[in-house]
Amino acid sequence: MGRARELRTDQRLWWQQIALPRRVRAARTNILHVPGFDAPRWKPCPVVLTVHDLIGMLFPQNLPPVARFYWSRWLPLSVRWADRIIADSEHTRHDICRLMGIPHDRIAVIPLGVGPEFHPIDDPRLLDSTRTQYGLPDRFILYLGTLEPRKGIDTLIRSYGQMASDVEHDLVVAGKRGWYTEPLFALVRELELEGRVHFAGYVPDALLPALLSLADLFVFPSRYEGFGLPPLEAMACGTPVITSNASSLPEVVGGAGMMVPPDDVPALSAALSQALESCSLRDELINKGLARASQFTWEATAQRTLEVYQDLIA
């Protein structure tokens, strides 16, 4: 297989609206499932469309101009063209109904899963090599995800800054850069945290379980998520989780993690301190997190997706 690559917005439109329908027709396909937001206007067969979130409509200011048009204007049209819609969470289904007027019964909620590769890693060689490769400190708090304004990383940095002098843990921010990330680096300089906040960059999937297992605490203060896979993967690796109580995150984390309001710097700072200071709380979060993560499997996701196909054919 060739390496997957990200398409520019114009390339994506051409593929989705012209090339893909032609291939589907040539293959005499019974059902087309588009797992990435946008359905073709010309449909050679019934279309199932997965909508993971409505970031483009709810947070257009976080996107460059061309992407802003694509996700905030084109996506609503595309959703209306689909015969069946899959949403990752009840929250996303509610947003689709509220913002696009799609009937509730056209949308199936199918949560994502976490693979068996996400489990507590205790191989010292793998852990040591991962620590060395990314220059990780001995004790650290971890954020993992794309770097962009919606993720609330600025809130995390400010919250960490309020208690950094009281803890030995550094803060590691891992993930590829998205849009408008320079203010994060400026904030670290402003708070004089250059030696305590580490930007690890992109980490490949194969090393994520080791990275998560090395962290003493995983923090995900996002303002909006269509599902929120990183907290689920962290729980599966036995890492205590703190996240925001916004959008779909309560559906994923349930009562297995600590939850704070988004953008609440004092509340997040207090939660960080509490989780790092209390061994009993950490043990409780680890055990609850492992149990919670076990409820989300890709097998269940696949089975429920198959049921959508069968219902559409019937």
pLDDT confidence tier of residue 314, bands split at 50, 70 and 90:
confident
- The proportion of the chain whose per-residue pLDDT surpasses 70, expressed as a percent, equals 96
pLDDT score, position 4: 54
Token pair 């049209």: residue: 77
Nearest Cα to 188, choosing from 220, 144, 157, 219? 157
DSSP state of 147: B
Q: Residue 271 and residue 256: Cα distance in Å, rounded?
A: 14
- Domains in the chain (CATH in brackets) are 9-113+298-313 (3.40.50.2000), 124-293 (3.40.50.2000)
At 162 the pLDDT is: 96
* Closest to 55 in 3D by CA, of 96, 10, 17, 18: 96
CA gap 172, 175 in Å, rounded: 10
Q: For residues 104 and 92, give the distance between their C-alpha atoms in angstroms, rounded to a whole number.
A: 11
Looking at the DSSP bridge assignments, the partners of residue 241 are: 218
> What was the pLDDT predicted at 226?
93
pLDDT over 70 (residue 129): yes
Instruction: Output 43 or 215, whichever has higher pLDDT.
Output: 215
Instruction: Indicate the pLDDT class of residue 2, thresholds 50, 70 and 90.
Output: very low
- Half-sphere exposure for 148 (CA within 13 Å, toward CB): 17
Lowest mean pLDDT among 17-21, 26-30, 45-49, 83-87: 17-21
User: 177 - beta bridge partners?
Assistant: 147
- Rounded to an integer, the average pLDDT of 232-255 is 97
> From edge to edge, which strands make up the β-sheet containing 140-144?
197-201, 170-174, 140-144, 217-220, 241-244, 258-260
Phi and psi at 144, nearest 5°, equal -135, 125
Give the whole-angstrom CA distance, residue 261 versus residue 222: 10
Beta-strand ranges (E) seen in the chain are: 32-34, 47-51, 84-87, 107-109, 140-144, 170-174, 197-201, 217-220, 241-244, 258-260
Radius of gyration of the chain (CA): 21
pTM of the model: 0.91
